[in-house]
A = this chain, B = another copy of it.
Amino acid sequence: MELIQEALKGSERAIARLITMVENEMPSWRETMRTIYAHTGKAYLLGFTGPTGSGKSTLVDRVAHLLCTNGYSVGIVAIDPSSPFTGGALLGDRIRMREVVTHENVFIRSLGTRGGLGGLSQATSDVIKILDAAGKEFILIETIGIGQDEVEIAQIADTSIVVSVPGLGDDIQTIKAGIMEIGEIFVVNKADREGADHVVTMIKAMLDVHPLSDAWQQPVIKTVATENGGVDELYENIMLHRKYLLKSDLLAVKRKERIGREITRLLERRIAQYVHNQMKEIGSLEDLVEEVTRRETDPYSCVDRLLPLVEKK
């Protein structure tokens, strides 16, 4: 396909069109991704995970800027959970990215969900592959990190950066949600605010209880992204972690785990979609709902009745 060839050469227009195709799971999606896949595996993936209001977009912006300055080409994927009703995101993250959009080799893309059952994870993973195949050397992924899909996305990264911030009500709230153990680098952003040292102390205490490994001591870095404070130190630590993964062969291990998870997810999704379509064809859902409403049966028993029907088809 010509579009793929254009994207592989780095054409922004072609990349954008491919991403749109993939996001909407167009009929040619699977075939396109097959072709793309052969050209992947070169990009290094950085995950930035943190709650709303932690300023992680600005942080991503600053790190991307440093990467560009050092001659790397950069792609950015910002996860933007979209409405299940309108299918559209209320607001993209694009408008908040100011510094970086002036660089020619940065490609920013906000993602909506692709709906249900690992859809967001798969869409993100596909978009990353397109940017990878198009020659981006670093891909920065920004997520809020809550919910199963979001945790999976955080696991996609080669280096995971967990962003906290002082003063978000209950401090521990900002770093729970299964994200703690994913972090290889911790950042306390807006560190000029009161309470920053307290957050640092708390993260360090948690890391003492759940250390990641002996070989990699997770750093806790204070930043003030809006004023570029601490961003150099963060950049250095990202490069250190990358070197550590490459040296110890852990990068290959991580990537193999990622492939295994992706195969399983794709299989589950395929089967779930099949079930979904079957349910529409069987058409007995409405009758079942009426029975359940009258409490003559229950949802758990309905599944036992539906299973053989789905299998037979």
Enumerate chain B residues within 8 angstroms of A51, measured Cβ to Cβ.
Answer: 51-53
- What 6 A-B pairs come out closest when comparing CB atoms? A147-B147, A37-B298, A53-B169, A53-B168, A83-B178, A90-B176
In the complex, A117→B271 CA distance in Å? 12
Are A288 and B263 also in contact (CB < 8 A) when A117-B117, A172-B91 are? yes
**One of B147, B268, B301 near A81 (C-beta < 8 A):** B147
Q: How far is the CB of A102 from chain B (nearest CB, A)?
A: 21
Please, which residue of chain B has its CB at the minimum distance from the CB of A55? B169
Shortest CB-to-CB span from A91 to chain B, Å, is 5
Evaluate whether A299 and B263 lie within 8 angstroms (CB atoms) in the complex, with A51-B51, A149-B147, A268-B272 already known.
yes
Interchain CB contact under 8 A, B263 and A268: no
Question: Which of these binds chain B: A7-15, A69-77, A214-222, A303-311?
Answer: A303-311
- The answer to whether A89 has its CB under 8 Å from any CB of chain B is yes
Q: Is the CB of A298 within 8 A of B91?
A: no
Q: Which residues of B contact A80 (CB under 8 A)?
A: 176
Complex partner residue of A148 from B120, B177, B272, CB under 8 angstroms: B120
A146 within 8 A of B: yes
B residues less than 8 Å from A116 (CB atoms): 148
Complex CA gap A310/B264 in Å reads: 12
Q: Looking at the complex, which of A60-68, A233-241, A242-250, A253-261 is the stretch in contact with chain B?
A: A253-261
A137 at the B interface (CB under 8 A)? no
A124 CA / B30 CA spacing, docked (Å): 34
- From the candidates B30, B41, B266, B292, name the one contacting A295 in the complex (CB within 8 A): B41
CB–CB B120/A117 < 8 A: no
* Minimum Cβ distance to chain B for residue A303 (Å): 5
Known pairs A259-B299, A263-B303, A303-B270; A174 contacts B52 (CB<8 A)? yes
